[in-house]
Amino acid sequence: MTAPHFLLDTDLTASQQAAVLDTADQLKARRAADRAGGGRPLEGRSVALVFEKPSTRTRMSFEVGVVELGGHPVVLDARATHLDRGETLEDTARVMSRYVDAIVMRTFAQERLEQLAGASSVPVVNALSDLAHPCQALADLQTIREHRGTLAGQTLAYFGDGNNVAHSLLLAGALAGLQVQVASPPGYEPLERVVRQAIDIGADTGSRILVTNDVREAAAGADVVYTDVWASMGQEGETSSRALVFQPYQLDEKVLAAARGDAIVMHCLPAHRDSEISAAVFDGPRSVVFDQAENRLHAQKALLTFLLDGPAEPAAAGPGPDRANP
């Protein structure tokens, strides 16, 4: 039987995504009771956490999450493994599959995750790649539901680089029935194939997708305003040049004023105050960034439970994850 993987947001169907979010809410609500005993679906199981990129929230949330579910996290810095000495991902996957029950990987190229998953007999989770950040998007959706009460019909406006976070917000948002409005500088828009896939998904879920170079157009009527760093990992050498290009896309008081009066502010962290987001907005009363960071823990616990114990939805809803990757 082929293991279910989570390499892109579209590896969950819309109903499976909703089921994972429901589980995340339940796990969050009963966290204190579970830590006191019970609620340990990963008892006797181990999860490999493989990092080829630096990490704070991803490492902590997965490591703590696996422990709270009763499992054993095996944290690996790829530079200290044979991956850094030329062992193939396929061989690594075959060996790890004999030792652990799931593999979580934070890496560069999406193709590395595809190679790992192709040879793995246990679930593989994308903890971030250059293409997508699907675990972040699950936590974002959980946060929006908490603060807005629903997902379908909400408008999320994203400002800045059309990067991995933007891609996952487009795909996961489309699955959830959000209207996703992305404003990026010319030449820095999300990948066209990802935008097309989000539009196709939206045809079934009622989601609407807008990609524009106009900040005010994206901000208009937004229930959620969101930004990310202008230079992602691996792009540090472009920090100064990008700052000049992206300055008009800063999430500041003017942008927030163009959104709905009760719009919430999100940032996936780490943040640079008065760069991609003004300090007043980041630290202001509408900011939910630390709720968002906390929800990485709960959403990822729910995801691991889903992948290892099967869908929390009736079997009639269909077979395993939808692998309609871009």
Tokens coding 213: 């170079």
Tokens coding 94: 């075959």
**Among 56, 4, 14, 10, which residue's Cα sits nearest to residue 205?**
14
Task: Quote the CA–CA distance of 203 and 187 in Å, as a whole number.
Answer: 26
CATH number of the domain at 136-291, out of 3.40.190.10, 3.40.50.1000, 1.10.3720.10, 3.40.50.1370? 3.40.50.1370
Task: Quote the CA–CA distance of 185 and 175 in Å, as a whole number.
Answer: 25
Under the banding of pLDDT at 50, 70 and 90, the label for residue 312 is very low
Q: Does residue 292 sit in helix, strand or coil?
A: helix
**Among 57, 47, 246, 201, which residue's Cα sits nearest to residue 133?**
57
pLDDT for the residue 86: 82
Under the banding of pLDDT at 50, 70 and 90, the label for residue 323 is very low
Task: Quote the CA–CA distance of 200 and 215 in Å, as a whole number.
Answer: 24
The secondary structure of 68-104 as a DSSP string is HTT-EEEEEEGGGSGGGGT--HHHHHHHHHHH-SEEE
pLDDT value at 193 more than 70: yes
Task: Quote the CA–CA distance of 236 and 215 in Å, as a whole number.
Answer: 24
For residues 222 and 260, the answer to whether their CB atoms sit within 8 Å is yes
Tokens 């209207």, located at residue: 179
Given CA atoms 94, 99, 101, 103 in this order, what sign does their dihedral have?
negative
Tokens coding 141: 């959706």
pLDDT value at 316 more than 50: no
pLDDT value at 26 more than 50: yes
Tokens coding 103: 């593999």
Q: Does residue 194 sit in helix, strand or coil?
A: helix
Question: Hey, which residues are catalytic here?
Answer: 106, 133, 136, 228, 268, 296
Task: Quote the CA–CA distance of 257 and 265 in Å, as a whole number.
Answer: 12
- Calculate the alpha carbon distances from 20 to 14, 107, 110, 176 in Å: 10, 24, 23, 12
For residues 263 and 223, the answer to whether their CB atoms sit within 8 Å is yes
pLDDT for the residue 313: 43
CATH 3.40.50.1370 range(s) for the chain read 9-132+296-314, 136-291
For residues 26 and 295, the answer to whether their CB atoms sit within 8 Å is no
Non-local (6+) Cβ contacts of 201 within 8 A are 10, 14, 171, 174, 175, 207
pLDDT for the residue 311: 58
Q: How many CB atoms lie within 10 A of CB 312?
A: 15
pLDDT for the residue 136: 98
Mean of pLDDT values over 104-117: 97
Task: Quote the CA–CA distance of 58 and 104 in Å, as a whole number.
Answer: 10
What is the strand order of the sheet 46-51 is part of? 72-77, 46-51, 102-106, 124-128
pLDDT value at 318 more than 60: no
pLDDT for the residue 176: 98
Tokens 């008081």, located at residue: 253
Burial readout 145-158 (b: 16 or more C-beta within 10 A, e: otherwise): bebbeebeebbbbb
Q: Which CATH class is domain 9-132+296-314?
A: alpha beta
Task: Quote the CA–CA distance of 31 and 6 in Å, as a whole number.
Answer: 24
Q: Mind listing the pLDDT tens digit for each residue in 236-286?
A: 788 888 999 999 999 999 999 999 999 999 999 999 999 999 999 999 999
User: For residue 179, what are the β-bridge partners?
Assistant: 155, 208
**Among 126, 101, 100, which residue's Cα sits nearest to residue 114?**
126
Tokens coding 58: 């991803």
